[in-house]
Structure 1
Amino acid sequence: MSRRLRLLLWLSRRFARRQIARVPDPLPLRPMFDRLARRLFRVPPYTLVGEAALAPGLPALIVSNRPGTHPVRPRKAVLYLHGGAFVAGHPSAFVAMLARIARLTRCEVFVPDYRLAPEHPFPAAVEDARTAWDGLIARGYRPGDIVIGGDSAGGNLALGLLAALLDDRIRPAGLFAFSPVTDLTFSGATIATNAARDAVLPAARRDDLMGFYLQGARADDPRASPLLADFPDPPPVFLQYAATEILADDSRRMAAKLRAPGGEVVLDEWPDAPHVWVLFDGILPEARQALIRVAGFVNTLFDEDQAGASAPATR
């Protein structure tokens, strides 16, 4: 463990978790997170950030790198759903980390600005995730051209989107998620066993979060808790999380769920790190290492697809 990671863990446990635990209303979290992102997260040079509308009323950012230095793969994309506990977060706060993914994978990354609770409770964000997917298809991408990604609450939306697509017999190239919350009934054992170890998320706020997001909807609705959904013939999935997180069991149980029907899952467990530590790329060496692992997963998916497309037909 690097000294920077030790320091970040100490600061997170001493200040960030306490701040999140004290905030009575989710709205102040939005400017707080945006200020943190502007101060800490540095966009790599030669990054291109554009704006697009994936559908009427659903704006998005497109993150890529200058074609002269890091040419993008033709017709390959990442659809990324950002985190923020369903109540906070904005695509711009994730540009620095996603620019690194774009550089390492040579993909364009689309980040929709989906609707947030409590103004827009469940299932608004779920609907926007599907609308974003349909928008990419309307732009000419095939399902096998798209890898879905997300972190935390965005990981929940990503996995929920995957379940909905598979139910419609649509199979993306794959999916990756950083510290996803997969079970809004919070039945995983680590919700309790890691309550004192998690560096960021206070377990005591889970009921408040559900009040802001679900607003009376059932937590065991598979659209809200993808762990309870069905995943027939899932594509390859990469799940990355820390063993000390209260959500550690969300990834472990999701891996078992996806493997049951024959799915290929990479379960990338780290001994100790803050929730979604990849955001600290450029600050933590562990963040860069984690992103390299994810990019390797994405590159394998697309490299195999391109090799198959260029191979001679066989009988």
Structure 2
Amino acid sequence: MLFRRRDVLNFWLRTVEKRKLAWLPTVQVQRQNFELQAMGFPRERGLKDEKVVLGGVSCRKLTPKDARGTLLYLHGGAYIMGSPSTHCALAGTIAAKTHLQVILPNYRLAPEHPFPAAFDDACAVAEALEPVSDQLVIGGDSAGGGLTLSVLSHLCERGHAPRAAFAFSPWTDLSFKGNSLTTNAQTDAILPVERIYEVRKHYLHNADPLDHRASPLFAPFKNAPPVFLQWSDSEILADDGRRMAARLREQGVIVTSKEWHDLPHVWQLFHDRLSEADAALADLYAFIDDQFATPETTR
């Protein structure tokens, strides 16, 4: 029998990493584990790497030599872990391939800083970038994908919509109404569904899960730019992606979306090692190229 890299990756994630995430005892240990694992991701060479402060938030800025615009990238990690360091490999690859300088905010994490701290920090950085909003793309993965969409709604309400937005496997509904949380509990290669209520408690504390700053599935998107979404049919957040795409289309947003088959949550992190990750990112690059090829006056 011929095993593909996807099959090997899924087996390893299910038998090792998913079990580890299910029992890691504290948030601090989970953060350390994530930071350590991220050191193994291949990183793009030739980018200028700087620390900057935007809107009072510390950020990491990765700049290719031929930058034509800016990408505000919001990292994933369930609002309790992750950092610019864990996502600089993926963000750097996107920067190099799309010719965008990337801003990675080090937004505050729960439980030390519960909702709406992450949203407030992301909005502060986005507002600091409003002078270049016509050349701005915002994007993110998992919780950062949900945060991206919440920030997009906020920017649209301010009348400063970016040029485009994208999200990988976004977490968009903290009220947990998606059926895939139960139907995909076994097929999800990495996320242990039994910890999701604990994570939500860390982040929301006593806030309303229907607050659209936390759950962009319920947000308004008047005059939003084109949005690009990807998710896997086997992950517990599959319905978050499906319903988000439908919600955006209901509001007249142009959505480019694709549901991939039997891939781990945010498989794009495995670029240069997994062909499906490279193919998914190639679709994103084409989408971004299309947005920059379209004159602002005709969007």
TM-score above 0.5, yes or no: yes
- SS for the counterpart of 1:269 is strand
Task: Report the alpha carbon displacement of residue 308 of structure 1 after superposing the two structures with TM.
Answer: 6.5
Aligned to 1:42: 42
Q: Name whichever of 18-27 and 119-128 sits farther off.
A: 18-27
Aligned to 1:101: 94
Task: Report the alpha carbon displacement of residue 24 of structure 1 after superposing the two structures with TM.
Answer: 3.2
Q: How does 1:172-251 map to 2 (within 5 A)?
A: 172-251=162-241
Of residues 93, 104, 112 in structure 1, which corresponds to 2:105? 112
CA contact (8 A) 2:134 2:296 kept: no
Aligned to 2:263: 273
CA shift in 2, pair 1:101/1:175, >3 Å: same
What is the distance in 1 between the residues matched to 2:4 and 2:296? 41
CA contact (8 A) 1:2 1:285 kept: no
Structure 1 unaligned spans of 5+: 310-315
- Deviations 1:197-227, CA, capped at 9 Å, x for gaps: 0001111111101111111111111111110
Aligned to 1:293: 283
CA shift in 2, pair 1:308/1:284, >3 Å: same
Task: Report the alpha carbon displacement of residue 295 of structure 1 after superposing the two structures with TM.
Answer: 1.2
Aligned to 2:67: 72
Task: Report the alpha carbon displacement of residue 162 of structure 1 after superposing the two structures with TM.
Answer: 0.9
CA shift in 2, pair 1:166/1:308, >3 Å: closer
Aligned to 1:159: 149
Aligned to 1:312: none
CA shift in 2, pair 1:124/1:307, >3 Å: closer
- SS for the counterpart of 1:298 is helix
Aligned CA-pair RMSD: 1.6
What is the distance in 1 between the residues matched to 2:156 and 2:77? 26
Aligned to 2:9: 8
What is the distance in 2 between the residues matched to 1:187 and 1:166? 26
Structure 2 unaligned spans of 5+: none
Q: Name whichever of 157-166 and 43-52 sits farther off.
A: 43-52
CA shift in 2, pair 1:307/1:64, >3 Å: farther
The percentage of aligned residue pairs carrying the same residue is 42
User: Would you say 1:87 and 2:80 are equivalent positions?
Assistant: yes
2:59 partner amino acid: A
What is the distance in 2 between the residues matched to 1:266 and 1:234? 13
Aligned to 2:54: 54
What is the distance in 2 between the residues matched to 1:175 and 1:203? 27
What is the distance in 2 between the residues matched to 1:8 and 1:21? 18
Q: How does 1:251-262 map to 2 (within 5 A)?
A: 251-262=241-252
Of residues 116, 120, 123 in structure 2, which corresponds to 1:127? 120
What is the distance in 2 between the residues matched to 1:285 and 1:180? 21
- SS for the counterpart of 2:63 is strand
- Deviations 1:88-117, CA, capped at 9 Å, x for gaps: 001012111111111111110111100000
Aligned to 1:29: 30
CA contact (8 A) 1:145 1:172 kept: yes
What is the distance in 1 between the residues matched to 2:271 and 2:94? 10
Task: Report the alpha carbon displacement of residue 306 of structure 1 after superposing the two structures with TM.
Answer: 7.0
CA shift in 2, pair 1:109/1:305, >3 Å: farther
- SS for the counterpart of 2:252 is coil
Task: Report the alpha carbon displacement of residue 2 of structure 1 after superposing the two structures with TM.
Answer: 7.2
CA contact (8 A) 1:179 1:248 kept: yes
What is the distance in 2 between the residues matched to 1:243 and 1:170? 33
What is the distance in 1 between the residues matched to 2:32 and 2:139? 24
TM-score under structure 1 length normalisation: 0.91
1:59 partner amino acid: S
Task: Report the alpha carbon displacement of residue 3 of structure 1 after superposing the two structures with TM.
Answer: 2.1
What is the distance in 1 between the residues matched to 2:3 and 2:31? 29
Q: Name segments (4+ residues, structure 1) moved above 4 Å.
A: 306-309
2:112 partner amino acid: E
User: Would you say 1:170 and 2:160 are equivalent positions?
Assistant: yes
